[in-house]
Amino acid sequence: MVVFLRMISKLPQQQTSIFSIMSKLAGEYNAINLSQGFPDFDSDPYLIELVADAMQAGYNQYAPMPGDQKLREQIAHKIQLLHGKNYDANSEITITAGATQAIFVALSAIVQPGDEVIIFTPAYDCYEPTVKLFGGRTRAIQLRPPEYRPDWKEVSEAITSKTRLIIINSPHNPSGAVFSKEDMEELQRLVVRHDLLVLSDEVYEHIIFEGLQHQSASRFAELAARSFITASFGKTFHNTGWKMGYCVAPEKMMTEFRKIHQYNVFCVNHPVQKALAVYLKDADKYLSLSNFYQQKRDVFLSLISNSRFRANPSEGTYFQLLDYSEISDEPDTEFANRLTKEHGLATIPTSVFNKDREDFKQIRVCFAKTQQTLESAAAVLNAI
């Protein structure tokens, strides 16, 4: 007996993530993996000890739906300390299963069928599929090398009567560019003038270089009043596998966020929340990260300084773009595949994140790696 299953895809054009593809390829060819954005070194043993202590203390059942109260209070304190904005821990902060879940829930709370959402490409690959899932469509503004700066005139011209939301990401993945104060002020003027909402993806908020300041949406009163801000403990504290993040927003927006969050995951890892609530009391745990990662960036760029790859030093994140145009005119997807298969080094081609897959002959590498890994990767790049 033949059984026919009628299944209609809601994302018929969606393919496997490039991160999964390249990490799988890295495994198959035993390649050094600089593709997916995760450290190859351990979290602070003290933080791991705090998680174990919380488990031993019995915090192994459901956490409160919005998140542990003390953790939310520490987040509120951190934002006030760094950006001068007061968020109510009870009504304006929610702990999430990583930043991607926060982004998904925020978009599901905002996007209605027919809405348009402006994104800046190259863009993190979860934005567009989530917008489509809820009946919206994206309008892409292409950022261009070497600076990857927004053209606010182009943004203004892209706004229509259907525009509902602008998504920003600073520090920016994959370019490492950082929005300036002037960028954020231009954004604020546009969203106020056109009555738009903002989703500010700030997962690399504590990884920023050369003395630059992170211009959080929370710093700007009129932006904060209409923004969901998402962030990631996993990126900050070297434990991406814990999938811990948070979202902050004005109470009216957070109310809508929590309506969906409660049915999406309800709550997230309880003992990890308890541990983070203690860990965040020491501000140096996150304030020291910029120097930590800037040193890794500088070491990596020094190691490849004699290679044929060209790089503008990343301003933030733990990613670096490498221009290979002096080496090959291959499409970046083919170059990245060959680099993995023939040379044993996995990277990410960046055209897959661009509008119309425009190819700037650049690959993205992650330098959140041990000295040994960086030296091994550099040896490969220098030999090409």
pLDDT at residue 7 in the model: 81
Distance CA 50, CA 275 (A): 5
The predicted model scores a pTM of 0.95
| Cβ-based burial of 112 (10 A; exposed 0-12, middle 13-18, buried ≥19) | exposed
- Does residue 1 carry a pLDDT above 70? no
187-216 pLDDT per residue, tens = 999 999 999 999 999 999 999 999 999 999
Q: What does the pLDDT average to over 244-267?
A: 98
Distance CA 308, CA 79 (A): 42
pLDDT at residue 16 in the model: 83
The chain-wide mean pLDDT, for the chain, equals: 96
Distance CA 117, CA 159 (A): 9
Q: What proportion of the chain, given as a percentage, has pLDDT over 70?
A: 99
- Does residue 3 carry a pLDDT above 80? no
Tokens describing residue 355: 């509008």
Name the pLDDT band for 14 (thresholds 50, 70, 90). Answer: confident
pLDDT at residue 17 in the model: 87
Q: What does the pLDDT average to over 325-348?
A: 97
Q: How far is CA 231 from CA 201, 269, 286, 297, in A?
A: 7, 16, 13, 22
| Domains by residue range for the chain, with CATH | 18-37+287-382 (3.90.1150.10), 58-281 (3.40.640.10)
| Strand 163-169 versus strand 137-142 pairing type | unpaired
pLDDT at residue 4 in the model: 64
